[in-house]
């Protein structure tokens, strides 16, 4: 039987990401509630539900009094609806680290936590409270309450950003990690009211964030891939790309051409090497060189070809017939001279990967014919 789930604030930033994740499960029947839905619709959805993700709230109103109405008072209404319907679901509440501070927003969130704690004690229901830091990720609204969304949106459009204090500290959680924590909380059996936690939370300054997003912008339309060695770096890169306008999602690389065919780089990454694609004319052979340390992989994706390998100092030649109809990767170890020949009637398209970015000052590429009768690369 499907688990019945209600999500308040379902069209907001976190709510939208959560609803998409819930929709992937055949074991969940999720109902979304947002500001345009009536209180009666919410009350009907709460009857007999198993889990409530309470994400709705106010965080940047025009009138500060709306903090209380949208956070504390609405949560009290939600609690009363649960009592009236006789429902005792698990309530997972998206609070804020601001609840630990003495400001209007924080006080309204703290009072909402108390409302749910009182409901839990009265009804015997369960509550998990997440005091979330700044959350970033796809679909977050720029120029609202997320500095990451604002910076990504503006930098992607070559607009200036405002940095009042570059040394100001930020604590950031990625929306996918938040959604994962919310979903995991639904699997708990503990009764009463307790706190949940999202991991990881990354700390950095506003100036560092701005610099990282600018670097992503500079690398976006070139073969150079930014350093993605950490989960935060990958999450920030994914977030930045989600703010690109449609016209910026496709771009052209420089094409290098000669009598043999064409070559274009797809990507370069300092710690992961580079990927490029070549087009070789029928009958043409590329390569006839070896590397001291560099390693490569070849994959033909269109056409028919013959890859030849020969260990230095050996007369024995290995041959691999390759075809775009049945792609396979051929590994090129160091100290092995190699070539690839187009044996078909159409251009041969090959995908290449090398474990280092090509450096013309130290190319680690030395001419050596695979077959002794070949005299030029």
Bridge-based pairing state of the strands 273-280 and 261-269: antiparallel
169 vs 367: CA distance, rounded Å: 54
Kindly provide the b/e burial profile for residues 128-157, where b requires at least 16 CB atoms within 10 angstroms of the residue's own CB: bbbbbbbbbbbbbebeeebbbbbbbbbbbe
119 vs 79: CA distance, rounded Å: 6
CB atoms under 10 Å from CB of 167, counted, come to: 9
Nearby residues of 144 by Cβ (< 8 Å), 6 or more positions away:
60, 150
The one catalytic residue in 53, 105, 174, 240 is 105
**How big is the chain, counted in residues?**
377
Strands (E), the chain: 3-8, 28-33, 51-54, 90-96, 126-132, 134-136, 169-174, 192-196, 202-205, 256-258, 261-269, 273-280, 285-290, 296-302, 304-311, 318-323, 329-332, 336-342, 348-354, 366-367
Nearby residues of 325 by Cβ (< 8 Å), 6 or more positions away:
none
DSSP string, 159-198: -----S-TT-EEEEEEHHHHHHHHHHHTT----EEEEE--
Q: Is 105 a catalytic residue?
A: yes
* Token pair belonging to 345: 């009637």
Q: In what order do the strands lie in the sheet with 134-136?
A: 134-136, 169-174, 202-205
> Which residue do the tokens 């009666």 mark?
40
Catalytic positions? 105
């Amino acid at each position: 039987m499907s688990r019945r789930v209600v999500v308040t604030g379902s069209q907001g930033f976190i709510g939208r990401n959560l609803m998409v994740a819930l929709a992937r499960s055949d074991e969940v029947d999720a109902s979304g509630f947002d500001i345009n839905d009536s209180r009666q619709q919410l009350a009907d959805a709460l009857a007999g539900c198993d889990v409530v993700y309470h994400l709705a709230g106010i965080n940047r109103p025009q009138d500060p009094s709306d903090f209380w109405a949208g956070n504390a008072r609405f949560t009290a209404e939600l609690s009363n609806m649960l009592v009236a319907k006789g429902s005792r679901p698990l309530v997972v509440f998206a609070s804020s680290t601001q609840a630990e501070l003495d400001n209007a927003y924080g006080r309204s969130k703290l009072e909402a936590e108390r409302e749910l704690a009182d409901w839990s004690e009265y009804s015997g229901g369960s509550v998990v409270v997440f005091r979330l830091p700044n959350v970033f990720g796809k679909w977050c609204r720029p120029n609202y309450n997320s500095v990451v969304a604002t910076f990504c949106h503006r930098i992607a459009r070559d607009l200036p950003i405002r940095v009042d204090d570059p040394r100001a500290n930020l604590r950031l959680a990625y929306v996918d990690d938040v959604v994962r924590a919310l979903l995991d909380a639904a699997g708990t059996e503990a009764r009463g009211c307790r706190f949940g936690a999202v991991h990881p939370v990354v700390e950095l300054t506003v100036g560092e964030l701005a610099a990282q997003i600018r670097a992503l912008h500079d690398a976006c339309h070139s073969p150079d891939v930014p350093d993605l060695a950490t989960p935060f770096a990958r999450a920030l890169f994914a977030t930045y790309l989600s703010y690109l306008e449609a016209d910026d999602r496709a771009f052209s690389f420089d094409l290098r051409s000669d009598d043999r065919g064409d070559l274009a780089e797809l990507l370069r990454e300092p710690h992961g090497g580079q990927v490029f694609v070549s087009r070789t004319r029928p009958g043409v052979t590329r390569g006839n060189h070896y590397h001291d340390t560099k390693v490569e992989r070849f994959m033909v994706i269109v056409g028919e070809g013959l890859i030849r390998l020969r260990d230095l100092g050996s007369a024995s030649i290995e041959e691999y017939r390759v075809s775009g109809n049945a792609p396979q990767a051929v590994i090129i170890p160091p100290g092995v001279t190699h070539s690839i020949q187009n044996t078909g009637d159409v251009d041969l398209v090959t995908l290449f990967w090398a474990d280092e970015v090509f450096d013309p000052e130290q190319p680690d590429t030395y001419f050596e014919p695979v077959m002794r009768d070949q005299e030029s690369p």
